[in-house]
Amino acid sequence: MRAKGTGVYVMDFFLREDQRIFKDTFRRFAETEIAPLVEEAEETETFPLQLFPQMGKLGYLCPRYSEKYGGAEIDKVSEVLMREEISRVSQGIASSWSAHSHLGSFPVYHWGSEEQKQKYLLPAMRGEKIFAFGLTEPNAGSDVKAIETTARRDGDGYVINGRKIFITNGNICDFLTLIAYTDKSRGYRGISIFLVEKGTPGFIVTRKLKKEGVRSSETAELLFEDCRIPARNLIGEEGSFYRVMETLNEGRIGVAGNCVGMAQGAYEAAIKYARERVQFGRPIAQFQAIAFKLADMATEIDAARLLVLRAAWMMDQGKNPIQEASMAKLFASEVAVRVSKEAMQIHGGYGQMREFSVGRFHRDALVYVVGEGTSEIQRQIIAKQMGLGG
């Protein structure tokens, strides 16, 4: 199927009919309901909160989860198709959606108690409450084991102390899924997962962060000072490092889908401009220098999409595609940077103007060669899976 007006074939030759329908349906939603909100959200650096209940009613929040809790039970392939469509319109909005629909809620859905699911997951899936995921710290990003936040058992509860930074939805969340050490003497095996509610004494939003990219996704720095939570807010049992890593690994495939969406959005803007912009008596798309750029962009996007769909398909088959997930995230994120950069070049001086979307795509793409695991970390994971790394 050739995407209308782009000259690019959308890789759907092995997609089921329901997957194609879902992709097309969500594309229409993204274009009609999300796109009109993007300009104001970017300018004000605020997330349009009305989207959460709106998407919740349609089953677009936490769509991978069971119908028992209000989910759509879509597979991983359908999820990355959905992610591509939302990021094609706005990665900032996609980032807040992802922090809620995957990172923050994933541990609760998979390892939380039924009581936790009823109290936290159900209102989140309806869009009545918002999730965030508290992992990154000033001194711990790619090195998860280096986190310093602690949760000390004290009677019938835990007392949390520490600091988190770059937390998507951190200042607008109702629930925070927090990663902290319960026993540092056990090394990384002493890392556990907790639920912390907004308004809990000692849970402090110290500042909202101003960013170059993903501006419509609100991001905050958080402080925990003797923040006491009940013991029932522990997700699963103490010592859940591998559950944290499972959350991140599945998330990489999703983020890779987001990156394909950013690249596709930048490409579509570039080819539209190149067909309309006339210089020396003809559209610049007819000049070989521009046509070759667009050809390379289209090829790289298709290659990235195939890597992402392969990793998602493997996950749907019950496999654990650690290497394939990192390959998809590495390649797709770097393609998004290259394609958006070339899109700006094709736009010439207009590429520097805020009224054109290509600059936003490029700023947002740069976030994802760092966020969700840097390109260097992805290469390290791939090398280790090949038996080359330590």
Q: Which of 239, 258, 291 is the last residue of a domain?
A: 239
Q: Are 76 and 150 members of one domain?
A: no
Q: Which of 79, 97, 125 is the last residue of a domain?
A: 125
Residue 209 lies in a domain: yes
Per-residue confidence at 191, pLDDT binned at 50, 70, 90?
very high
Q: Are 108 and 144 members of one domain?
A: no
> Can you say whether the dihedral through the CA atoms of 362, 364, 370, 373 is positive or negative?
negative
Q: Are 21 and 116 members of one domain?
A: yes
Q: Please, how many CA atoms are within 13 Å of residue 225, restricted to the half-sphere of its CB? A: 6
Residues contacting 89, CB < 8 A, separation 6+: 30, 31, 34, 35, 38, 261, 265
Mean pLDDT of all residues in 79-94: 97
Residue 10 lies in a domain: no
CATH assignment of the domain containing 31: 1.10.540.10
The pLDDT of residue 7 is: 47
Element (H, E) at 179: strand 175-181
The pLDDT of residue 303 is: 96
- What is the rounded CA–CA span in Å between residue 196 and residue 198? 7
Lowest mean pLDDT among 4-18, 230-244, 348-362: 4-18
Residue 223 lies in a domain: yes
Residue 390 lies in a domain: no
Catalytic residue among 137, 218, 221, 372: 372
Mean pLDDT of all residues in 251-265: 96
Lowest mean pLDDT among 1-15, 73-87, 251-265, 307-321: 1-15
Lowest mean pLDDT among 2-11, 43-52, 370-379, 381-390: 2-11
pTM: 0.93
CATH assignment of the domain containing 202: 2.40.110.10
Tens digits of per-residue pLDDT, 132-176? 999 999 998 888 999 999 999 999 999 999 999 999 999 999 999
Q: Are 366 and 325 members of one domain?
A: yes
* 11, pLDDT greater than 80: no
* 104, pLDDT greater than 70: yes
Mean pLDDT of all residues in 77-98: 97
Q: Are 102 and 136 members of one domain?
A: no
Q: Are 32 and 139 members of one domain?
A: no
Residue 2 lies in a domain: no
CATH assignment of the domain containing 344: 1.20.140.10
**Amino acid type, 355:** E
* Residue 95, token pair as written in the block: 């980032």
The pLDDT of residue 14 is: 76
State how many domains the chain has. Answer: 3
Per-residue confidence at 230, pLDDT binned at 50, 70, 90?
very high
Mean pLDDT of all residues in 358-385: 94
The pLDDT of residue 2 is: 46
Residue 217 lies in a domain: yes
Residue 5 lies in a domain: no
The pLDDT of residue 355 is: 83
Mean pLDDT of all residues in 3-10: 48
What is the domain range of residue 80?
A: 17-125
Q: Are 61 and 165 members of one domain?
A: no
Angle formed by the axes of helices 241-276 and 322-347, nearest 10°: 30
The pLDDT of residue 13 is: 58
Q: Which of 239, 256, 288 is the last residue of a domain?
A: 239
Q: Are 156 and 220 members of one domain?
A: yes
Q: Assess whether 212 carries a catalytic annotation.
A: no
* Residue 39, token pair as written in the block: 């300009």
The pLDDT of residue 199 is: 96
Q: Are 249 and 336 members of one domain?
A: yes
Per the listing, tokens 């998979």 go with 110
Residue 250 lies in a domain: yes
Mean pLDDT of all residues in 361-374: 94
The pLDDT of residue 34 is: 97
Q: Are 193 and 293 members of one domain?
A: no
* 353, pLDDT greater than 50: yes
Tens digits of per-residue pLDDT, 18-49? 999 999 999 999 999 999 999 999 999 999 99
The pLDDT of residue 371 is: 87
- What is the rounded CA–CA span in Å between residue 329 and residue 253? 6
Alpha carbon distances (Å) from 198 to 38, 108, 136, 172, 195? 27, 16, 18, 9, 10
- What is the rounded CA–CA span in Å between residue 318 and residue 40? 41
Mean pLDDT of all residues in 118-130: 97
Mean pLDDT of all residues in 256-267: 98
Q: Are 22 and 89 members of one domain?
A: yes
Please answer whether residues 284 and 346 qualify as being in contact, where contact means their C-beta atoms are separated by less than 8 angstroms.
yes
* 272, pLDDT greater than 50: yes
Q: Are 317 and 299 members of one domain?
A: yes
Tens digits of per-residue pLDDT, 299-317? 999 999 999 999 999 999 9
